[in-house]
Structure 1
Amino acid sequence: MISTLSIVDLKDICAFVHARTGMIFGETKRYYVERRISELMRVRGSVTPQDYLAVLRADETEVEKIINSFTVNETYFYREEHQLACLSRSILPDVVRKKSPGDRIRIWSMPCSTGEEPYSIAIWLLENWHLVDAYHVEIVGSDIDTAVLRQAGEANYGERALSKLPGHLIEGYFEPKHAHKHKLVADLKESVTFTKANILDPGSLAASGRFDVIFCRNLLIYFDDEGRRLAAQNLHALLNPGGYICLGHSESMARISACFDTVRFPDAIVYRRGEGGA
């Protein structure tokens, strides 16, 4: 196990991760990087960090492993609940003004991590939006991390992930606890589709289609200015005209792109794509 990365090794590894994900790491994240690289090198049998970098440049399977290792997946059900309230009370009532009963409403959770966010959206709408059955609501969860996508598909959660959910919702939407885990009921699990996507790679987003609402919370903080601008550009392209995007509480689209209007609803500040444009 490596005890410390040289300045050159740290720079080269962080540059590789940035090129493939847009995420910024450096000296301030040295311990975080060293822990992950040490384990990856141990499993692969690489002697030096430069040996491991050579493996990364030649093996896409190993690239997937380092991406999965470096992504941050802090999440739980009903996180930032005020935005869910905003979705049902303000955002969707505006979205459906331009739709007819039976029309499709598409909601995207990116990054979706282990699935708590898109499943929370599904539960919230069933519980709090009286028009949920009047429209065809399609919820898509996407992430760059294939390991968390597999977990999202399994939909098996521990107590910490469910700690903010009221007891009656756990009883209503999850199977009885088994081996300290609660499995989401099949009907709700099937209401969310999961896909691999990189918000900085238009090619990986090409098949996504457009959405009426995008939840992209606590992702842009990991990018540099150029990465944030590119992400905003791609998000704008994926929104229907008049569609909305919800960011994390410490993020502001107003500081990144002039392509969105800031909308201050009673429950949350969100960002809207203008009605014009293709």
Structure 2
Amino acid sequence: MTRLIQSLSEISADYDALFVDLWGCMHNGVTAFPEAVAAMQTYRATGGKVVLVTNSPRPWRSVARQIAEFGVPEDAYDAIATSGDSARMAMFLGAVGERIWHIGQVFEEEFFQPMSLLEDPVAVTLVPLEEAEGIVVSGPEDPLADPEVYRPQFLYAREKGLKLLCANPDIVVDRGEVREWCAGALAALYTDMGGESLYFGKPHPPIYDLARRRLARVSPVEDSRILCIGDGIGTDILGAIGEGFDTLFITGGLAAKEFGTDPATPDRARLREWLAEQNLSPTAAISFLR
């Protein structure tokens, strides 16, 4: 049964490292959560290691710059593993060909910058859909628009047999008070239409392999001593349980409305019933990371 706790410190001594989601746990897309930052700083001060594991389509250095602007300082974590880095490696190994149709915003084109760690990467070129060998989705061009707007292009892509590489499996995120669509919503639509979508972020294994490698550079830690923290039941929690990790579910994030009117005080009975419906049992749950 999932244990409802009030503070990370109630269970943190049982773990040598944390894999922590960013959006909804450490920040809201606009500003950092001070209590979450303090919790990470305190945990690291006791010798614990923190890897931020995010479905951001950005390279990790770009994420580091972004969260610094939000107010997440470098002393709150040891390393960052992004879905973007995991997906970029697959792309430069040729997973969806050389000529790519990109769906995303202009600032996300950093995704296509070369990766120096690969000896012989594929030479990727961005082209119109009609000339493409594959698709890369880092996010919708308009995150407020219904993903269905891509149905005509996806029909054409499916008929051509194009694979779609999804750089962020999240369906939605909350930027402040505004809910936005993510790349995962487009990939889900393409899959529903009969197309083939490739995933590299949570809940899929590649990003956890990357997180383990990033952690190993800092300190070797057994999986049994790692706690995964996140607010996405179908990404953070599902993926971590699938990898055999213990999990801490943040109830005050994406699913906050499921547990009552006060996000800071989730209704225990509603939480228990909702988790049973999801057929998932996190190790512990907390309203907000603190």
For normalisation by structure 2, the TM-score amounts to: 0.29
Going by fraction, where is helix more abundant, 1 or 2? Answer: 1
- Highest relative contact order (Cα 8 Å, sep 6+), 1 or 2? 2
- Max radius of gyration: which structure? 1
